[in-house]
Amino acid sequence: MKGDDKHLVVNAIENGTVIDHIPSTSLFAVISILQLEKLNNQMTFGVNLESKKLGSKAIIKVAGKYFENSELNKIALVAPQAKLNIIRNYQVVEKRVVEIPEDEISGIIKCPNPVCITNHEKITTKFHVLSRSDMTVRCNYCEKVINRTQIEIL
């Protein structure tokens, strides 16, 4: 049954992008980071699907849309194990994994410091990546260092 599901998912769109292996809890964060709510493309979201790797996963299919790597890499913060399938003419023509941006993350993370200026004025947040392995970042403004467990998506 599971194999059939996967089959269906991959073949359901003629051209576009399938984002698989998203943790179920991160589906809405991924939608918001990629700003999918602003697109008029046909989309399918699946959530709380069975996954050997994650226990519970979500999947997104966007027809007729290919993302830039820089856009996709933004979701690495909330879905580090996400797998991307690029579909052309019903075929998977390319598989990609996401990578945490190397140097800077702009406008995705909310600074958890309540007295940081970014929580008081309309400012695009900016974080410097200190370590990609344990996802430690430093706020460009208040200079607080935060790790994966403290990261909150805007």
Partner 1 sequence: MVNRSLISITDYSKEEYLRILDLAAEFEKNPNQNLLTNKLIATLFFEPSTRTRLSFETAVQRLGGRVIGFADASSSSVTKGETLKDTIKMVSNYVDMIIMRHPLEGAARYASEITNIPVVNAGDGANQHPSQTLLDLYSIRKTQGRLDGLNILMIGDLKYGRTVHSLLMAMSDFNPTFYFISPSELQMPSGYKMLLDKQGIRYVEDRDFLPFLPKADIIYMTRVQKERFSDPFEYEKVKNVYVLKNALLDSCKDTVKILHPLPRVNEIDPDVDENPKAYYFTQALNGVYVRQAIIASILGLK
Residue 5: enclosing H or E segment and its boundaries?
helix 2-11
The Cβ-side half-sphere exposure at 102, using a 13 Å CA radius, reads 1
φ, ψ for residue 101 (rounded to 5)?
-55, 145
| By the rule CB under 8 A, 133 interacts with partner 1 | no
| By the rule CB under 8 A, 128 interacts with partner 1 | no
Out of 81, 141, 150, 153, which residue is the one contacting partner 1 (CB under 8 A)?
141
| By the rule CB under 8 A, 37 interacts with partner 1 | no
| By the rule CB under 8 A, 12 interacts with partner 1 | no
| By the rule CB under 8 A, 120 interacts with partner 1 | yes
Do 42 and 9 touch, CB atoms closer than 8 A?
no
Residue ranges binding partner 1 (CB under 8 A): 113, 115-118, 120-123, 139-145
